[in-house]
With several copies, the nearest count.
Chain A
Amino acid sequence: MARLDQGPPHYEQMLPPIIKENYGKWRYHEIPRPGVLKHVSETGAELYSIRVGSPRLVSIEFVRDLCDLADKFCDGHLRFTARHNVEFLLGDASKVEPLIAALTEKGLPVGGTGASISNVVHTQGWVHCHTPATDASGVVKSVMDDLHDYFEEMKLPAKLKIGLACCLNMCGAAHCSDIAIVGVHRTPPRINDEKIQKGTEIPSLVASCPTGAIRPNPKAKSVIVNEDKCMYCGNCYTMSPGMEIMDPKNDGCAILVGGKTSNARTAPSFSRMVIPFLPNNPPRWPEVTEAIRNIIDVWAANARQGERVGEWIERIGWERFFTLTGIPFSDKLIDDYIFSRETFRTSAAFKF
C-alpha cells in the first residue's frame, strides 16, 4: 500500500554535490555562449548549466537517454526548467563542449538563454484533453521549427516567451506571454439534451455561463442557450458533456502579444489580442507560424535592445504596432467584457 501524504521527495537528495556545496552562495553569472549559463560562487566554484530544448511530451526512452547523458557527464544529476527545458549541470568546464557535441548528435538543441526564445509552455491538445479548440504539441513543434535559430542564438532584442493554451481554460497560462497562441471556439455549444438529463447538475450549468446565456429548460430537463449572448468560452462544456462546443470547421487559434510576468522595469502585463482567429491547418499550422514570425521579425527590427515585445509596443503605441506589422485591426480586438472600460482610449492623444 502507498504511504499517504509523504509529499514529494526531498530536493536535497536530487542536488549535485557542487550545488549542495554552493547552495545560496552564488555571486553572479555569465552566458558564455547561447544555451550555457556559467554561475560563479563566493567560493570560486563555477557551475555550467547546459540548457536543452525538449518536446515535453516524451517517452520514457527519452528520459532514459537524458539519464544516460547525465550519468556520463554530470555525475547523475539534471534538472528541468520552469519552461520544460532540460538543464545539465556541470562542475567541470572541460566537459561543456563534449556534452554539447553529444546532445547535438542526438538532435537535441542547446539554447534558450538570454535574448533568445525559450521553450513554449503548452498543454495537452488533441493528445489528451476533452475540450481543445486546437492541438498543442503540433502547433508548438511547427512554431519552434520555424523559430529554431532564435532558440540557438541570442539575437533578439530581449527574452521571448511564447505560451500556448488549447482552450480558454488556459492551462498554458499563456495570458501573460510575449506571444500567446490560444485555441478558440467560435460557435455556441450544441445542446445534447440526453447527456444533460443523464449527467448534469442544471443549476451549476446555468451558473457556469459568464454571460448568463444559459437558462433552464424544465420541460426537456435540460437547458437553452441564448446564442446571441454566447461568446464560446466553453465553460459550460467543462460543466456538462451535453454542451458540445467542439466545431472542427470553426475552431482555431487566436494570437495575443505583449504580456510578461517579470517585474523588471515594467509591471507584469497581460497579453493582448491582435489576431482573433487563424484556422487549424494541421499538421503544420502555416498561418500561425507565419503570423508569429511576422510579429517577431518586426519586433526584432524595430525594438531597442532589452525591450520585451510588450514594452516595445507600449512605447510605440498599439496603433503603430498594427501599422508596422500590417495586421488588420477589427472590432473583434476591442474588449467588450467586464474590464473593457480601461482599454478604451480616453484621450485625444494618439498616433495616426
Chain B
Amino acid sequence: MADLIVNGQAIPLDEDGFLEDTELWNEEVAKALALTEDVPELTEEHWKVINYLRDYFAKFGVAPMVRKLCKDTGCDLKTIYELFPSGPAKGACKIAGLLKPTGCV
C-alpha cells in the first residue's frame, strides 16, 4: 500500500495498511492511520482503547481477546464499532500500531 505521510515523512505500510515497522508508531502516526480507517478524529474514548491495546501488547506481546478488551475498557462491542468502523482488529489494532492480527479469518 502507499506510504503513510506524517509530517512530511513517509512511513511504510503493508498491503493491509498496517505499519510495516510498528516501532515507528507515535500519536501523529495514529492520527494519520485513523484517517485511513474512517475515523476522522481520535477522541478521548478512542485513546482509551488505543492506550489499553498498547499497554496490553507491551505487557503480553499479543493483542487482547475482544471480550477482554470490552471488559477492561468498559466499551461494549457496539461502542467499539462506533469508534472504529472496521472493528477491533482491522480498525483499533491498526491505529494503535499493533502487529497485524493473524490466524483466525
Contact = CB atoms under 8 A, between A and B. Distances in A.
A and B touch in the complex (CB under 8 A): yes
Interface of A: 198-204, 208, 238-241
A15 B32 CA distance: 49
Nearest to B18: A199
15 contacts: A198-B20, A199-B18, A199-B99, A199-B102, A200-B99, A201-B61, A201-B63, A201-B102, A202-B61, A203-B60, A204-B62, A204-B102, A204-B103, A208-B103, A238-B103
A203 B99 contact: no
A140 B18 CA distance: 37
B49 to A, nearest CB: 18
- Of A201, A203, A208, A240, chain B has the most CB atoms within 10 Å of the CB of A201
- The dominant DSSP class at the A interface is helix
B61 A239 contact: no
Contacts of B100: 199
Contacts, number: 28
A282 B69 CA distance: 47
Contacts of A240: 102
A201 B20 contact: no
Interface residues of B, number: 12
Interface string B1-43: 0000000000000100010110000000000000000000000
Contacts of B63: 201
B62 A198 contact: no
Nearest to A235: B103
Interface string B54-76: 00000011110000000000000
Contacts of A201: 61-63, 99, 102
B103 to A, nearest CB: 5
A340 to B, nearest CB: 25
A201 B18 CA distance: 14
A269 B14 CA distance: 44
B102 A238 contact: yes
Contacts of A200: 99, 102
B54 to A, nearest CB: 14
A150 B21 CA distance: 55
